[in-house]
Amino acid sequence: MGGYADAEVSRRVIAWISNRKNISRVLLTYADRENLAEIQAREAELTTALQDLAEARFNPPPGVQRMTDETYYGLVAEIEGERRENHRRLVVTREAGMLNGLMEMKDPAAEWEAQSVSWRRRVLSLVVATIVIERRGKGCEPGTRPHERRFDPTRIRMQFVGDAIE
């Protein structure tokens, strides 16, 4: 039964860390408070710049030639590079460094499987507030015999940092 519970917890954590907004929220708790407003303002400027660039690329004003793919993707790469550097400025602790590494993952599921158990435990301690496996009821689930044991993933309750219990 423990293997099933571990697999279910891993599945939920991978889904949670796959959403960059979740990690950003947690990263802010470890951020450098003195420079936070400046970093967030620059992040907003970069987001606006990306939106404006996409608008200029795909909906150029009448009479203006459409931007080439090379130019567009080059500018996007520059903005994304500055965003990564901006995120690194938030990193002032080891925990924040680990969270920043999670944000840069291309394939969180593959990365999760490739890492050591101690790394996974560290990530769990950073992003999960509580994990509770509820007790079974006295009655049996429909379709099972009293002596059978069957894993029920709905008994696992997890609360991620900053989220409500799911």
Per the domain annotation, does 43 fall within a domain?
no
Per the domain annotation, does 42 fall within a domain?
no
Per the domain annotation, does 118 fall within a domain?
yes
As a whole number, mean pLDDT of residues 2-27 equals: 86
pLDDT at 164: 46
In degrees and rounded to multiples of 5, residue 84 shows phi and psi of -60, -40
Per the domain annotation, does 138 fall within a domain?
yes
Nearest to 112, CA basis, from 3, 1, 5, 6: 6
| Residue span of the structural domain in which 147 resides | 1-19+111-166
Question: For 72-118, what is each residue's pLDDT tens digit?
Answer: 999 999 999 998 888 777 776 777 778 878 888 889 899 999 999 88
Please tell me the total count of domains within the chain.
Answer: 1
Per the domain annotation, does 101 fall within a domain?
no
